[in-house]
Amino acid sequence: MAQCSTFSALPSLGSVPSSPRTFFNARLLDMEKYTLRNTDVVARGFAKRAIQDGRAIEGRLGNPTIFGFLPYPGLDYYLKQAVREGFAGYTESTGYTPLREELSHINGGAESRFSVSVDNVFIGCGSSDLIGTILEVLSPEIPNMLDRLIEVKTGQGSIDPLIDILSKNEVITPEWSYVVYHANMARLGMRNISLPLNGTGVPDVGKLEELLTPNTKAVILATVGNPIVAGMTPEEYMQALNIMEQKAKEYGHPIFLIADIIYESVRRDRNNRVGPITLAMKNGIRNVIVLTVNSASKMMGWPGNRIGWGKASAGDAYEDYFRTFLDYLGNLILPSLGRAALPQQVALYRFFNSINRKKHAEWIDIDRFAERATDWAGDATSEHELYERFKEYRRAEIGRRVYEFANLANRIPGVSLMPFLLKSDGAVDPGRLNAFYVMCRFEALPRGEFSQAARLAEFALELGFKVPLTTPGDEFLTPEARGKGEEWFRVVALMGDTDREEMVDVMGKFANQCRRTYPNPVQVSVPDLSSQRPASEGPMQ
């Protein structure tokens, strides 16, 4: 019997136990490698030891609050107000309707002809939750797939239906992508197709056409990437939409574009902002269903409140298909009760309502909230103007901190930054630092059992230094690409001046040791993932 071409996270058919309980345990263990927090840095206890000793320099998760970035004051004010007024009940499955109504207007203001219907807006627990939810809607075959796996193992069914299910669940993502994309595809048995990056660090849209097939369910494109912080231009994003539009016409079914826009508000070049739904509507896209996801975690500084929102738009070519998708989302994937807490939804509603209508910000008249705005509020009193000033101030401070780290790290002998971040003369290009992250590597350090991130932390712990906690770069690659080519680690470069200097100092000491230990580093090449697109038949290893 030929081996099924399953996604590599699934156990091979020969190892699938007959007991459903045992099967799910094996599946859980096999998926562990996809989770963000199961890196070898954590697994070896380095992070826990460093934190217990008070020696950790955080650089793992994009949580701005741990670096001193306080939430926008109005959000906390409206949350306290909602709790005090007794908002403690349930909401409908897709979220608090007044909030969804306000969000439906955000594309271009309340009068914009590119706004979407309130029925096309849904609320979740952050953008990660929403991406997983959308992919789950696109994989309704998963229960059947699990049944077929068990039937094949026990000799009660044919392998052919399983192959058919898996072959029709392809999702295209950039080769460097946020780990949640990969984790959810592993969970849902979807096949991940890698789209290479071009020389500027954004997805190579020119290669998208050759990767699309009739089996493509969706394409995930962040307007600003994580961990690669390059930002796509409106022209590049529109090119991708046009390619998908033509292919969807050819295939006779829609293609979903999942647009992760969470870092769009951090983008440095404000003239190149990308609004995927606005682009699709303005340019008459009819065959692509566009879904944007965003949250209050990054710019607003509200990550612990776990609230995000998704918006959907489709042309008239597949209106029935689109409505079925929304019905499935609301009635089956998000059944009966909303996921996000009601007080947070009410607070966010009042915030957006105040912005959209340019109301006077109530909180600015209360000293304990107003004092948090002294650095940026000026003489502004309307919510709209206050939030615009807040974003401008925060964007500048994020840019300053990330650039300072990148610039110092780039000067360490033996340390390389991703080439996308550099000018032709080798200096850091601040215009390409559009999010919180910097990707680095120790040039002399060969691949080993543990990542460069773990070995850096271990070095610092053993010698009594402050301990840089970072994320292994392989976490952001598909399983097929891990362990190959140059090895990187991701730094959340939002730390303050003291932590930044100490992290760079430890990195310099470790780079020196690497160069002494490995004076003749092995040269490796970056794999070309564009030629590794899995066929619909044969094993995927």
Q: What is the CATH number of the domain that holds 242?
A: 3.40.640.10
- Based on the fold, state whether residues 386 and 511 are members of the same structural domain: yes
Whether residues 389 and 320 share a domain: the answer is no
Same domain? For 250 and 365 the reply is no
Torsion of CA 336, 337, 338, 344, to 10 degrees: 150
Q: How far apart are CA 358 and CA 121, in angstroms?
A: 22
Indicate whether 397 and 510 sit together in one domain: yes
**397 and 256 belong to one structural domain:** no
Of 63, 193, 92, 187, residue with least CA distance to 131 = 187
Statement to judge: residues 237 and 373 lie in one domain: no
Whether residue 423 sits in one domain with residue 299: no
Query: Which residue in 236, 226, 217, 288 sits closest to 261, CA to CA?
Result: 226
Looking at residue 321, its pLDDT comes to 85
Say yes or no: 160 and 202 in one domain: yes
| 10: confidence class by pLDDT, cuts 50, 70, 90 | very low
Specify the DSSP class assigned to residue 337. S
Domain of residue 273: give its range: 104-337
Position 192 in a domain: yes
Nearest of 282, 235, 234, 276 to residue 259 by alpha carbon: 276
The domain that holds 365 is classified in CATH as 3.90.1150.10
- In this structure, is residue 67 part of a structural domain? no
375 plus 520 within the same structural domain: yes
Per-residue model confidence as pLDDT tens digits over 234-267: 999 999 999 999 999 999 999 999 999 999 999 9
Q: Assess if residue 96 is contained within a domain.
A: no
Contact 163, 111 (CB under 8 A): no
Distances (CA, A) of 332 to 93, 150, 420: 9, 24, 42
β-pairing, 308-313 with 288-295? Answer: antiparallel
Q: Are residues 248 and 312 in the same domain?
A: yes
pLDDT-wise least confident of 139-148, 361-370, 443-452: 139-148
Residue 316 resides in a domain: yes
The answer to whether residue 439 sits within a structural domain is yes
199 shares its domain with 288: yes
For residue 174, being part of any structural domain is answered with yes
pLDDT of residue 46: 81
- pLDDT at residue 61 greater than cutoff 80: yes
**Buried residues in 433-457 as b, exposed as e (16+ CB within 10 A):** bbbbbbbbbbebbeeeebbbbbbbb
Q: How many domains does the chain have?
A: 2
Cα 26 to Cα 29, 32, 192, 231: the distances in Å are 5, 10, 21, 39
Considering the chain, what percentage of its residues have pLDDT values greater than 70? Answer: 80
Do 374 and 333 reside in the same domain of the chain? no
Whether residue 354 lies inside any domain: the answer is: no
Sheet hosting strand 308-313, strand order edge to edge: 121-124, 308-313, 288-295, 255-260, 216-222, 170-174, 191-195
- On whether residue 88 sits in a domain, the answer given is no
> Is residue 154 over pLDDT 70?
no
Tell me the Ramachandran region of residue 48: left when phi exceeds 0, alpha when psi lies from -120 to 50, beta otherwise.
alpha
491-514, pLDDT tens digit by residue? 999 999 999 999 999 999 999 999
pTM: 0.86
Residue 251 and residue 114: Cα distance in Å, rounded?
27
